[in-house]
Amino acid sequence: MALSTRHLLGIKDLNRSDIELIFETADNFKTVLNRPIKKVPSLRDVTIANIFFENSTRTRLSFELAERRLSADVVNFAASSSSVSKGETLIDTVNNILAMKVDMVVMRHPYAGAGIFLSKHVKAQIVNAGDGAHEHPTQALLDAFSIRERYGDVAGKKVVIVGDILHSRVALSNILCLKQLGAEVMVCGPTTLIPKYIGSLGVKVEHNLIKALNWCDVANMLRIQLERQDIKYFPSLREYTMMFGLNKQILDSLDKEITVMHPGPINRGVEITSDVADSKQSIILDQVENGVAIRMAVLYLLAGQTP
């Protein structure tokens, strides 16, 4: 079994059998991660460069850990301390790295489509670790994998994504991935943060948090991406929290017990309170654990392809 694509640039490039294959492979790697010796020699002699043009904690650590668990050689590159700050272009930067015989590039970039552009101009395989407000495929895969782990299946589950849908790469990738796996998806947030075209993706739109939470099985709470907002989309964070923040009182008042997710980093007290984030209904730390297994699966399956 092999993936139908040479790169992982976005969920829109994957079909359902690709996603299922990644999940089955991740199941095996999750078993490996729970053993005393957590390393496998699967990617020995493969060199992977992590190129991050944007700040990242979880994603960069998760990829690096996944690479080391697979015994790959890892090169880390932070754009802020590189020649990019001297005016070097993206293609030149990556070609210089590839000249040092790197096989695969994991890249995060502030501009949408950077990974797609790069894949057309360089020989290495590209894994998109987030490009602007476009896609974040491995986050969507680990989110869906976590739902599958919790419920046994993703098909037929009702998932609401709450928050800043407009600026979120996680939201778009999650919608595409969950729809592909047969889940029902709703988005919820202020009108100003819901994109106009969202209905064309086959999702429901709701502006009342309580109604959305009573409808869903799983609530994925997104943070407000203030660093991407060039104008004010709502009067104040305090008002946003009053309208769209999830607290324990709301959680306990619902008709049924739902599962709470968050891609991180969490702004505690804004989109979600500490007592919800740390409650038994939250699978936020499971998502982080599953992230390593999913990224191991993706790297392993891509590296297994012959050029």
User: Annotated binding residue at 86?
Assistant: yes
256-290 burial, b if ≥16 CB within 10 A, otherwise e? Answer: eebbbbbbbebbeebbbbeebbeeeebbbebbbbb
171-195 burial, b if ≥16 CB within 10 A, otherwise e? Answer: bbbbbbbbbbbebbbbbbbbeebbb
User: Annotated binding residue at 190?
Assistant: no
User: Annotated binding residue at 238?
Assistant: no
Helix residue ranges, H only, 15-82 = 16-33, 58-69
Backbone angles phi, psi at 264, to 5 degrees: 75, 160
User: Annotated binding residue at 148?
Assistant: no
User: Annotated binding residue at 69?
Assistant: no
User: Annotated binding residue at 58?
Assistant: yes
User: Annotated binding residue at 139?
Assistant: yes
User: Annotated binding residue at 169?
Assistant: yes
Q: What one-character-per-residue DSSP string does 165-185 give?
A: -TT-HHHHHHHHHHHHTT-EE
User: Annotated binding residue at 223?
Assistant: yes
User: Annotated binding residue at 268?
Assistant: no
* β pairing state of 104-109 and 73-78: unpaired
The binding site for carbamoyl phosphate consists of 58-59, 108, 136, 139, 264-265
The binding site consists of 58-59, 86, 108, 136, 139, 169, 223, 264-265
The binding site for L-aspartate consists of 86, 169, 223
